[in-house]
A and B are shown apart, each in its own frame.
Chain A
Amino acid sequence: KQEVTQIPAALSVPEGENLVLNCSFTDSAIYNLQWFRQDPGKGLTSLLLIQSSQREQTSGRLNASLDKSSGRSTLYIAASQPGDSATYLCAVRGETSGSRLTFGEGTQLTVNP
């Protein structure tokens, strides 16, 4: 059974810092990995989708990498801003799980002005 772990569970940084969020998964047979952002009381917003054949994806100040063989992904946020404060979730779509996603528990990020 696929398990997804996110480290750290919470992170507090000063504005302007570059930071890395980590996601690991136990079964490397995946179609893709998706990073989401969730603001308090809101739904999930997709940030980046990485296919299993890709190594990384970039969107603005965000860069996500994928090392499928080692079961790891990182989300890099450059020059963090207070508006980046949110919970970040990673989720994998496994080859044997149909269309179901397996989610990590999330990293709660606070960027202090």
Chain B
Amino acid sequence: DVKVTQSSRYLVKRTGEKVFLECVQDMDHENMFWYRQDPGLGLRLIYFSYDVKMKEKGDIPEGYSVSREKKERFSLILESASTNQTSMYLCASTFLDRGNYGYTFGSGTRLTVV
């Protein structure tokens, strides 16, 4: 069964900490995405990547960075965590330039910054 795996289901971090959220997919997808989801705001795209070492800003990139050193792995980095980054983080992947395919999502990481 194809999968997008997020390394942590729940994380609690302190303000100012550097936080890494990891995502791995086993479907050979070129595209990978990071979203955050907040009540009343829906899903918002933070960053995405269409190839190794490539990245594109989404709608809310401020306070975040990403890393894609291998095709299967896409990391979201909070350089200095703040309480307003408390949220559900969702990783997703899909094929590039193939409208026949949909997205596959991971199970999410609930991050709390205290």
Segment 62-114 of B: residues with Cβ below 8 Å from A: 88, 90, 92, 94, 96-97, 99-108, 110
Distance A36 CA – B37 CA, assembled complex (angstroms): 14
Inter-chain contact B31/A99, CB cutoff 8 Å: yes
Smallest distance from the beta carbon of B61 to chain A beta carbons, Å?
14
Residues of A within 8 A of B (CB): 31-32, 34, 36, 41-46, 49, 51-52, 89, 91, 93, 95, 98-101, 103-106
Distance A105 CA – B43 CA, assembled complex (angstroms): 8
Inter-chain contact B42/A43, CB cutoff 8 Å: no
Q: Which residue of B lies closest to A95 (CB)?
A: B99
- A36 CB contact (under 8 Å) in B42, B58, B96, B105: B105
Inter-chain contact A43/B99, CB cutoff 8 Å: no
Inter-chain contact A52/B107, CB cutoff 8 Å: no
Q: Which residue of A lies closest to B10 (CB)?
A: A41
Is B50 in contact with chain A by the CB < 8 A criterion?
yes
- A91 CB contact (under 8 Å) in B88, B97, B100, B103: B103
Measured between beta carbons, the chain B residues less than 8 angstroms from A45 are 105
Q: Which residue of B lies closest to A36 (CB)?
A: B105
User: Taking each of A44, A45, A100, which has the highest tally of chain B beta carbons within 10 Å of its own beta carbon?
Assistant: A44
Q: Lowest 5 CB-CB distances: which A-B pairs, in order?
A: A31-B99, A49-B102, A44-B105, A43-B107, A43-B108
Answer whether A46 and B42 are a contact pair too, CB < 8 Å, given A99-B48, A99-B50: no
Distance A99 CA – B92 CA, assembled complex (angstroms): 11
User: Taking each of B50, B100, B102, which has the highest tally of chain A beta carbons within 10 Å of its own beta carbon?
Assistant: B102
